[in-house]
Amino acid sequence: MGKPPPDRDFQASQSFDFIGASVEIALFDSADKWFITAFRGLASKGCVNVQWQDRVIEVRTTQVRVAGKPKLGDTKEDQPLAAKVNDRVEVKMPASSSKPASYISATVRSTCGPYFLVSLEGRGRQEDLLVLPDQLRAPGRTEALSSMALEEVVLDCPEGTEEAHPDTDTEGLKQEWLMTLQRECNLLGLGVRHGESGRRQLKLVGERSSTTRASKLLHTVHFWNQAEIAKCRAQQADLEKRLSCLEGASREEGKVIEFPVDMDIMQLIIGRSGKRLQDIKGQLGVGIEVLKCPQDRNQAIVRVVGQDPDAVAATQRQLEYKRRKLSFDHDEVGYILGRNLANIREIAEKVSLFPLRVASSG
């Protein structure tokens, strides 16, 4: 069994918020049972830290292995193992209340429909088991950490990339870009923290080829992209500030006006195919925008912008409409409306009224 790591070294590693790859550990160097757990960092020479239940322990690298990288074009990794009688295999056993899931060496004794009858190897083995194909794995698909040149690299995030990831703290470590970096570069672990200088630091742990590749990707792609994003955000904030100042001054001078319009008369504002707005723009030399109203979806906001305050005000007078309800006695309605609504239509046409709605009070 492994031992707890030295307090000083372990606390230093824990100052990083850490993602560890899945590894398999044996309680003894020559064990036939390998427990599935998580890598937690490098320890003393020839040892690493791994998760064991609710604590971290230090074990020798000869007791730890990782699933090997599939070769290019190899699709066997995604398919159930087609084992035959007398083949040696590894069987995945489920976790128990006291121990995590594990792989145990076994030999196939017979097949029974979709099931395999296997004999487990090692001390204190159970009776022969019936297992499904997806519980089996061919031996030799793992690599011992003792055969790897492991190293730990700490990188300072360049200035200008901090604001690009404002939420990369405790929960931010779970961001997709970090998970992708670990997976694509086959890192054993990846940590993040704020250094003494206040700048964010990344810790890469893995085989030398993996940490080198990850470092190059970070410096040539990710950090550069984040610096550009931060620069664009700063420019955007500056432009928004300047625009706000200009709009504030323009409103005071009457060069910008905004007013609400009910959506049910928007067609009257715009005109057929937008012709009315285009005509007003051409006549008065103003710009007109129709914006969503964040407070009321039954209304829109019309913004008028122009160099001449009088032209802006004239545009508002042409586009802004008022509503008014009028009540009449029942015996007066026929006279006011006229035959087939002729009277009221004539009035509406002369004074540019929106089509009227006549409602009965019952």
Find the helix packing angle between 176-184 and 208-217, rounded to 10°: 140
Q: Read off the tokens for 303.
A: 């913004």
Q: Is the pLDDT of residue 56 over 80?
A: yes
On whether the CB atoms of residues 20 and 39 are closer than 8 A, the answer is yes
On whether the CB atoms of residues 192 and 177 are closer than 8 A, the answer is no
Q: Read off the tokens for 16.
A: 């990083």
Q: Is the pLDDT of residue 66 over 80?
A: yes
Domain boundaries, the chain: 7-68+81-146, 149-246, 253-319
Mean pLDDT across 287-303 = 85
Mean pLDDT across 34-54 = 92
HSE toward the beta carbon, residue 320, CA cutoff 13 A: 14
* Neighbouring-strand partners of residue 260: 301
How many C-beta atoms surround the C-beta of residue 321 within 10 A? 14
**How far is the C-alpha of 170 from the C-alpha of 192, rounded, in Å?**
9
- Written in H, E and C, the secondary structure of the chain is CCECCCHHHHHHHHCCEEEECEEEECCCCCCCEEEEEEEEEECCCCEEEEEECCEEEEEEHHHEEEECCCCCCCCHHHCCCCCCCCCEEEEEECCCCCCCCEEEEEEEEEEECCEEEEEECCCCCCCCEEECHHHEECCCCEEEHHHCCEEEEEEECCCCCCCCCCCCCCHHHHCHHHHHHHHHCCCCEEEEEECCCCCEEEEEEEEHHHHHHHHHHHHHHHHHHHHHHHHHHHHHHHHHHHHHHHHHHHHHCCCEEEEEEEHHHHHHHHCHHHHHHHHHHHHHCCEEEEEECCCCCCEEEEEEECCCHHHHHHHHHHHCCCCCCCCCCHHHHHHHHCHHHHHHHHHHHHHCCCCCCCCCCC
**Which segment of 75-84, 130-139, 208-217, 296-305 scores lowest on mean pLDDT?**
75-84
Q: Read off the tokens for 334.
A: 């026929």
Domain 253-319 has CATH 3.30.1370.10: yes
Q: Please give the order of strands across the beta sheet that includes 200-207.
A: 17-20, 189-194, 200-207, 150-156
Please give the CATH number for the structural domain made up of 149-246.
Answer: 3.30.1370.10
Mean pLDDT across 58-70 = 84
Query: Residue 103 — pLDDT band, cuts 50, 70, 90?
Result: very high
Burial class (CB in 10 A: 0-12, 13-18, 19+), 49: buried
HSE toward the beta carbon, residue 142, CA cutoff 13 A: 22
Q: Is the pLDDT of residue 288 over 50?
A: yes
Question: Quick one: pLDDT at residue 249?
Answer: 52
Query: Each residue of 162-207: pLDDT tens digit?
Result: 544 444 443 444 467 778 888 888 999 988 887 776 778 889 999 9
User: What is the rounded average pLDDT for all residues in the chain?
Assistant: 78
Q: Is the pLDDT of residue 148 over 80?
A: yes
> Could you identify the residue written with the tokens 């001054």?
249
Question: Quick one: pLDDT at residue 42?
Answer: 92
Identify the CA nearest to 39 among candidates 176, 175, 206: 206
Mean pLDDT across 333-352 = 74
